[in-house]
């Protein structure tokens, strides 16, 4: 079993904030993650039978589903990757220390050199965020693009995870959720960001922002429920415009 690092107050906790109000389910994050990471720290992200009944390793997957019935239903696009939990069961169950949580920034990683591919971590993770590479015989997972976010060979603006950099609607945000004053923490506070399955007690670092209230009720934009027809004097429907002096 593997121990967790101490996490003093104010400890840096890097993670993602994902806005479910704007995610259109386009899979840009998932595919850009795949192309970055298949040549990155955990390379490759192996694909089996790629031109047949294909299945492969992905660190980020988008689940699209509907919630609710009939008129009350809505379509949800839900991107999901490792949540870099503060209490990651996947680390604690690791028999070799291969799964570990970094003290400096809280990122959960797997050391491929010591991973024995026993899959205990994937059984322990309630979020299904771990991905087994059957060719390498090791577990792989989201690294929060550890080879981008500190990479001094990239421009500073590019030192964010690939999924954040590429998201077309701007639904993905990266930052330090251990700092209450950071942009991501303020976003979570302002928008009521929430934990995925908090009842399980793993305390995910990544947060989700809920959809904003829909503006479907009459009056939601300030408009009346219907327009009042203008009285048509003498039955002439066009009288409204007859006397209007409109200059070209």
Q: 5 to 44, contacts with another protein by CB under 8 A?
A: 5, 21-28, 30-32, 34-41, 43-44
In the complex with another protein, the residue whose CB is nearer, 97 or 201, is 97
Options 7, 87, 103, 126; binder of another protein; rule CB under 8 A: 103
Length of the chain in residues, anyone? 248
Handedness of CA 20, 23, 29, 31 (dihedral sign): positive
Rounded distance between C-alpha atoms, residue 234 and residue 66, angstroms: 53
Contacts 24+ apart (CB under 8 A), 100-104: 100/2, 101/4, 101/5, 102/5, 103/5, 103/6, 104/12
188 lines the binding site for another protein (CB under 8 A): no
- Please tell me whether residue 196 binds another protein under the rule CB under 8 A: no
Nearer to another protein, 181 or 245 (CB): 245
Contact 53, 242 (CB under 8 A): no
Per-residue x/- track, 59-98, another protein (CB under 8 A)? -----x-x-xxx--xxxxx-------------xx-xxxxx
Residue from 8, 9, 53, 156 in contact with another protein (CB under 8 A): 53
Q: Which two tokens stand for residue 157?
A: 């603006």
* Assigned token pair, 45: 């992200």
Interstrand relation of 14-19 and 207-209 (parallel, antiparallel or unpaired)? parallel
Smallest separation (angstroms) from another protein to the CB of 28: 5
Question: What is the CB-side half-sphere exposure of residue 160 using CA atoms within 13 A?
Answer: 18
Q: Which of 215, 233, 234, 235 binds another protein (CB under 8 A)?
A: 215
Contact residue for another protein among 7, 11, 12, 56 (CB under 8 A): 56
CA distance 185 to 229: 49
> What residues form DSSP beta bridges with 14?
176
Rank residues 9 and 237 by Cβ distance to another protein and give the closer one: 237
Element (H, E) at 191: helix 183-191
Total site size for another protein, rule CB under 8 A? 108
70 SS3 class: helix
State the nearest-atom distance from the C-beta of 31 to another protein, in Å: 4
Contacts (CB under 8 A) with another protein, residues 132-161: 135, 146-147, 149-154, 157
Is residue 1 near another protein by the rule CB under 8 A?
A: yes
Residue choice 142, 171, 184, 188 for contact with another protein (CB under 8 A): 171
């Amino acid at each position: 079993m593997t121990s967790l690092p101490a996490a003093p107050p104010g400890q840096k906790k890097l993670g993602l904030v994902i806005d479910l109000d704007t995610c259109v389910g386009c899979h840009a994050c998932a595919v850009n993650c795949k192309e970055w990471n298949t040549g990155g720290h955990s390379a490759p992200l192996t694909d089996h039978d790629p031109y047949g009944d294909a299945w492969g390793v992905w660190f980020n997957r988008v689940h699209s589903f509907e919630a609710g019935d009939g008129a009350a239903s809505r379509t949800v696009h839900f991107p999901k990757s490792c949540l870099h939990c503060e209490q990651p069961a996947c680390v604690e169950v690791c028999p070799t220390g291969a799964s570990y949580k970094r003290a400096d920034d809280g990122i959960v990683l797997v050391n491929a050199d010591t991973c024995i591919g026993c899959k205990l971590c994937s059984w322990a993770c309630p979020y299904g965020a771990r991905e087994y590479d059957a060719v390498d015989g090791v577990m792989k997972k989201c690294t929060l693009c550890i080879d981008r976010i500190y990479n001094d060979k990239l421009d500073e603006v590019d030192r964010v995870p690939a999924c954040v950099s590429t998201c077309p609607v701007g639904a993905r945000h990266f930052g330090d959720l251990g700092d209450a004053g950071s942009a991501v923490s303020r976003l979570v506070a302002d928008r009521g960001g929430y934990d995925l399955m908090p009842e399980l007690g793993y305390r995910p670092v990544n947060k989700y922002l809920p959809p904003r209230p829909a503006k479907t009720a009459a009056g939601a934009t300030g408009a009346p429920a219907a327009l009042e027809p203008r009285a048509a004097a003498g039955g002439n429907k066009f009288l409204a415009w007859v006397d209007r002096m409109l200059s070209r």
